[in-house]
Structure 1
């Protein structure tokens, strides 16, 4: 090879790379136009609550097609550079906001939980504990209106932790009885999550635009912007906690513990982030987290005279068909034990062994730096869902940020093993497949749901494990030969 060829080859490769990603942005705009058109069609065909949902559910599932094509485009092409990188990220985030804003004015139709949020805020402002008093309590006869009429579980007290209650209170104080305003707060939190994912990608040297996996996903768009679920705040606090944990500035450990506590005070399972983010003798983070959680419960301990669990214990022990696979298996085994007490003990012991074993395994690997943060979070949250008594579609968007960070770079497969990419794909599929739970209301075939939502991802994870084991053996064999 001549000197001219050697000196010119980098320029040729650079120009080829520029040509390769020049068409990415126009194609992304085409995908955006299709996705937005689909969202508009969904909005026009969004039925009112307690009316047939068949067409809307079909459109909901169909919206994953333009979304999937957009993700394939971003994940399978090189990232742009310079101003075009910022332009592409801006388009993704602004269009994500637009997709969510389309559904903000509409009332929720798949779930009535967000109406209960407003009711809880009203009860707290009256000086009562939502963990003690149910909506049909005689104390509230004088305030029964459209909020109560649209709520569900009217004979049960609340189960939402104090930070969630704080968000409801803030929304109610700023805009009383205004559900779109509360949903708008969740949308803003969701956009912070999108920006946080882009930041984590940039920090790892990845393609910022990969945040499209979350920003354009129909699941958080519908479940947070239309249905108005509080899980949007959980996702945001978890992402911000991971960002703070990677900082070296003074007070970063305290801030991390505080954010983990806030996430735990919206849903309980984010407390597991302590296992992922805590370093040895990291007392500042641990004490901040524990103290924040305790102080948040103090007002409700006073209002409720020590009662703060509300409906949670009943909710967690309910045996429902949308439970996790481990929960379902243990429930089946429980039926074969004639002694009710022994059956119950076996059930709880089985859940404790599964969850405790996974938690200890992740902690051991984290301390030895054998597993990444995103993989640790996915494993722990996946174990939580596996033993959970309920898995609703609005629960699982919390997996999407970590899937985004775990996916390998398509055009550089040497950066991540095939097994990791397959595991990320399986988790992403499971996240989207939980939508099948909505169809069981019209055709209650839970066996088909288990096949599609549980069995197929488990098979993919088994294949990923097999590939990982084989790669490990090949590496060990090559190391032996090199020595």
Structure 2
């Protein structure tokens, strides 16, 4: 171990530097505003550069010393991400509110946040006191709070929760995690509980990668590409997105299914889908082995976790999902950033879904369920490219499968969606996304070219 210290030391220094820059960005610069976009982009660029160097230098560290270093680094960088409030997204405000409501014994699907019936539960950090401007309009303190009309009572209130007049969108397993994150803390405690939930998901995923990579013949040190990733830190920990938990469950389900434990794998897959619906994308490359059992256990698990909520609130358990799809342009066919340039108005989403369905069938028929990693990476990545979500954290599902498959070119899509979270120029996004897609296609072509044996001249 003493002989490994000279190789560990440079990696440790880089990790400390990443943690320092992250702490400065999260606790110092804080909540993103328009003027701070260049600062955030520069800090993220520094973190990505340091991260790349650290992961490459880690390959010189002896394998026996690597797991402890990878986990310690993930803990260090992740803890730095929890040193301040969420910087980009307000989703964790809804997570926290849903947890507070559930811990008070109330279904999160029963009331909207602005409902006056829940006024006694409102903590001041989520519902700050409203002020009045000279012209009589409501003024809210802080960078996040916005005025909204109460439901069931007159008057405006201030809240940091987005869409406070619509029901929650999150499925039951996600809601259970929100309640669990806050069960031991009073309502006055802020974002830290859900950030720690995100950190736990990152550490669990990193540990699972360390354990699983050697089983598929890959170097476990590559687990650092997930655990130390600046994107993962910002979206899973700082902004506390529940997609990190869904990604862990999707990875765990795949590991179980690959090892032949179909029932357990199907149950965990159902839990992943009932956390965030995106893990459905990992299914096609797995479904050729015992498809009926897989469908029965996964869908049965989803149905089972929904039952208590359906009994409590009925159809309201659907929440804001239809409104969200409409708001994001999925149901009017305008969502796909690249296809919308080529197709008539309203057709891009339909064509994107058709292409994804065709890819799913192809992967179902051609993928060995014992080695699904590259196909799962392609399925998730293609969905992100074709459907072009506005939210970078959807890529949290992609990163563990990039690590498992070694298809590093897909990090270009992750970076593209990360930049989109900091700016909204559609044509710039399309251009960068097109470059990221070209990188994937070229890398895939080169990999096949190298893997195809050449015939020797006669």
Name the TM-score, length of structure 2 as normaliser. 0.82
1:143 to 93, 116, 121: 121
Q: CA deviation digits over 1:87-138, x for unaligned, max 9?
A: 2221221121012112324221211111101212233455654345321123
Q: CA deviation digits over 1:21-77, x for unaligned, max 9?
A: 9964343234334333433433452324668533244212321111011223345x5
> What is aligned with 1:4?
none
| 2:178 is the alignment partner of 1:168 | yes
CA contact (8 A) 2:236 2:396 kept: no
CA distance in 1, matches of 2:251, 2:25: 29
CA distance in 2, matches of 1:276, 1:389: 22
CA distance in 2, matches of 1:143, 1:52: 35
> What is aligned with 1:261?
270
> What is aligned with 1:89?
67
The aligned length equals 420
Q: CA deviation digits over 1:290-309, x for unaligned, max 9?
A: 11100111122122222322
1:65 to 1:310, Cα distance in 2 relative to 1, 3 A: same
Structure 2 gaps, min length 5: 128-158
| 2:169 is the alignment partner of 1:159 | yes
> What is aligned with 1:276?
285
> What is aligned with 2:138?
none
1:115 to 82, 89, 93: 93
| Cα shift at 1:216 | 0.8
Q: CA deviation digits over 1:347-377, x for unaligned, max 9?
A: 554233112101001101125x7x9411111
CA contact (8 A) 2:352 2:387 kept: no
CA distance in 1, matches of 2:225, 2:109: 36
Alignment of 1:7-22 (within 5 A): none
1:145 to 1:38, Cα distance in 2 relative to 1, 3 A: closer
1:101 to 79, 97, 102: 79
| Cα shift at 1:267 | 1.0
Which one has a bigger Cα radius of gyration? Answer: 1
Q: CA deviation digits over 1:237-273, x for unaligned, max 9?
A: 122112212335xxx2111011101111111121233
2:226 to 211, 214, 225: 214
| Cα shift at 1:86 | 2.9
| 2:443 is the alignment partner of 1:464 | yes
- Partner of 1:86: helix, strand, or coil? coil
Structure 1 gaps, min length 5: 1-18, 337-342, 408-423
CA distance in 1, matches of 2:211, 2:336: 36
| Cα shift at 1:289 | 1.0
CA contact (8 A) 1:426 1:460 kept: yes
CA distance in 1, matches of 2:437, 2:335: 12
| 2:357 is the alignment partner of 1:356 | yes
CA contact (8 A) 1:269 1:384 kept: no
| Cα shift at 1:333 | 5.9
CA distance in 2, matches of 1:467, 1:40: 39
Over aligned residue pairs, what C-alpha RMSD do you find?
3.0
| 2:295 is the alignment partner of 1:286 | yes
CA contact (8 A) 1:130 1:158 kept: yes
CA contact (8 A) 1:325 1:387 kept: no
4+ residue segments displaced more than 6 Å: 323-326
> What is aligned with 1:6?
none
Larger helix share, 1 or 2: 1
Name the TM-score, length of structure 1 as normaliser. 0.78
1:292 to 1:333, Cα distance in 2 relative to 1, 3 A: same
| 2:43 is the alignment partner of 1:59 | yes
| 2:412 is the alignment partner of 1:429 | yes
1:241 to 1:131, Cα distance in 2 relative to 1, 3 A: same
CA contact (8 A) 1:35 1:63 kept: yes
CA contact (8 A) 1:324 1:388 kept: no
